[in-house]
Amino acid sequence: MRILVTGGAGFIGSNFVSAMARDRPDAVLTVLDSLTYAGSRASLSAIDGSIDFVEGDIVDARLVNRLVSDADVVVHFAAESHNDNSLVDPLPFLQTNIVGTYTLLQAVRHHDVRYHHVSTDEVYGDLELDDPAKFTELTPYNPSSPYSSTKAASDMLVRAWVRSFGVRATLSNCSNNYGPYQHVEKFIPRQITNILTGVRPKLYGAGKNVRDWIHVEDHNAAVWRILEAGEIGRTYLIGADGELDNLSVVRMILELMDKAPDDFDHVADRAGHDLRYAIDSSTLRNELGWQPRYNDFRSGLQATINWYRDNPTWWANDKDAVELRYQVQGA
Ligand code: NAD
Ligand code: DAU
């Protein structure tokens, strides 16, 4: 099977490609990635000989068309992915997340290639802290940020291309991922690398906001299961029942890194900050038989801390620039 993976040098995409190279030696893997600040060739160095890497932009229709014509399946991870950046400069989000998805859809339509669209639970907006409800496949779209609104738009394009043009696509909307190779701008790696560089962790507002954590390997196993057995046109929600508020996550990181529980700073809150995400993944579990393997967040977090401690060369070059950006935002 020839698989084209967009965004394969990013956090989730590089973990996906590495897992495929490890577990599916029959797969012929091509990565298309424009290596923005968030992409890194180093994330793929261990499997360099097993993949074809193409540096290029998903809005480049000629390039996308050529690569798609050589593929049996496209898995689309590429995106501008960080909410905070989308509040400062939304345009790249519109360009990559909407126009990029459109470009891929036109190519898979033209060449009749199977397509999987990787999306986020943020398209559903947020839930109250004390609401027993979780997001399901039927929850209405209600995105809050420029990032999530462009992801919502891209999901809508996929649904329209399925219905109007018969494109063979599936979609998945996943909750917050953690694990190795996540950019240091994101919450968990930021706090781990802060502590490793002698800086106090930074918590937005009071830290009551809840995220539903899932290990990146569990997300990617679900994506693969959907590719194998998912029904065309369907959306699957991916989550591992990992709800935790941000304060608890910071305190757990501090404890696992032998720091005092209050050794962190409260900083300016994010504008429009979503309160709570929570995923009901029963459709995926019941219909496709997927189960998360990383059920103990604490030990997954410890392994993630160890990975950042053991791999400073992977993240050190980005750290100063990221913290400078946050300083300007008062975060
Ligand atoms: P990331 O920011 O770590 O990686 C994105 C990758 O896409 C980078 O390698 C970047 O270079 C590449 N890219 C960006 N613009 C491009 C363009 N125009 N052309 C080609 N490549 C481009 O993101 P991530 O956290 O790995 O997220 C991957 C996907 O999963 C995204 O679609 C995101 O919306 C979705 N998602 C992420 C999470 C999460 O918790 N991180 C959860 C649910 C869904
Ligand atoms: O839910 C899925 C989404 O999860 C993905 O679609 C996004 O691509 C991904 O970035 C993530 O979005 P979040 O905004 O939830 O993740 P982030 O890591 O930026 O922040 C997680 C929580 O931690 C959020 O409530 C904001 C808070 N936070 C973040 C940072 C960077 C802090 O308290 N301090 C920080 O320094």
In this structure, the residue with its CA closest to atom 4 of ligand 1 is 10
The rounded Cα 260 to chain-centroid distance in angstroms is 30
Residue pointed to by tokens 């693969």: 224
What is the overall mean pLDDT for the chain? 98
Closest to 191 (Cα-Cα) out of 253, 101, 272: 253
Alpha-carbon distance of 68 to 127, in angstroms, equals 38
In this structure, the residue with its CA closest to atom 35 of ligand 1 is 119
**Closest ligand (CA of 9):** 1
Distance 231 CA to ligand 1 centre (A): 24
Angle subtended by helix axes 297-310 and 246-256, to nearest 10: 60
- What is the model's pLDDT at position 166? 98
Q: Which residue type is seen at 99?
A: V
Alpha-carbon distance of 74 to 30, in angstroms, equals 10
pLDDT in tens, 214-247: 999 999 999 999 999 999 999 999 999 999 999 9
Instruction: Supply φ then ψ for residue 20, to 5 degrees.
Output: -65, -45
**Closest ligand (CA of 39):** 1
Rg (CA), the chain: 19
Q: Which residues line ligand 2 (CB under 6 A)?
A: 81-83, 120-122, 175-176, 186-187, 190, 202-204, 209, 211, 246, 270, 277
DSSP result, 96-158:
IIIIIHHHHHHHHHHHT-EEEEEEEGGGG----TT----B-TTSPP---SHHHHHHHHHHHHH
Q: Could you tell me if the CB of 11 is within 6 A of ligand 1?
A: yes
pLDDT under 50: residue ranges of the chain: none
Domains of the chain: 2-183+213-242+274-295 (3.40.50.720)
Mutate to test the pocket of ligand 2, among 176, 190, 200, 208 (most ligand atoms within 8 A of CB): 176
Instruction: Identify each DSSP E strand in the chain by its residue range.
Output: 2-6, 28-33, 51-55, 73-76, 114-120, 169-174, 177-178, 202-204, 210-212, 214-215, 235-238, 243-245, 265-267
- What is the model's pLDDT at position 8? 98
- What is the model's pLDDT at position 105? 99
- What is the model's pLDDT at position 321? 96
Q: Could you tell me if the CB of 177 is within 6 A of ligand 1?
A: yes
pLDDT in tens, 253-301: 999 999 999 999 999 999 999 999 999 999 999 999 999 999 999 999 9
Q: Which residue type is seen at 118?
A: V
Q: Could you tell me if the CB of 114 is within 6 A of ligand 1?
A: no
CB-CB contact of 23 with 45 (8 Å): no
pTM for this structure?
0.99
- What is the model's pLDDT at position 292? 98
Distance 259 CA to ligand 1 centre (A): 32
The 73-76 sheet, strands edge to edge: 51-55, 28-33, 2-6, 73-76, 114-120, 169-174, 235-238
Q: Which residue type is seen at 30?
A: T
- What is the model's pLDDT at position 167? 98
Catalytically active residues, by annotation: 121-122, 147
- What is the model's pLDDT at position 155? 99
